[in-house]
Amino acid sequence: MCIRVEHYNNVTPYTMANSNRGFASMDPKKQRDIARKGGKASHEKGTAHEFNSKEAKEAGRKGGKASSGGGRNQSR
């Protein structure tokens, strides 16, 4: 059996998994530091969104629905 793998710009599945470029390849501590700085800057600028309880409830409902099918009566 032969499996064909497409290579784009000399990027193989191996190099994609082991690349040291981009946010996802960073050390988790460095990712948190960058995210924290972005959140702090948006709050200082006044453009950060703060959820009220109604919005938080709706976001949780949507997330649960998307991730688990959204019902309590799911067969597993």
The whole-angstrom separation of Cα 25 and Cα 53 is: 34
Residue 36 lies in a domain: yes
Within-domain flag for 7: no
Q: What is the pTM of this model?
A: 0.41
| Chain centre distance of CA 41 | 20
What's the pLDDT score for residue 32?
92
- Residue indicated by tokens 């499996």: 3
Distance of CA 69 to the CA centre of its chain: 19
- Confidence at 24, pLDDT banded by 50, 70, 90: confident
The per-residue pLDDT for 64 is 83
**DSSP for residue 72:** S
The reply to whether 66 falls in a domain is: no
Q: In this model, does residue 30 exceed pLDDT 90?
A: yes
Total of domains in the chain: 1
Would you say residue 73 lies in a domain?
no
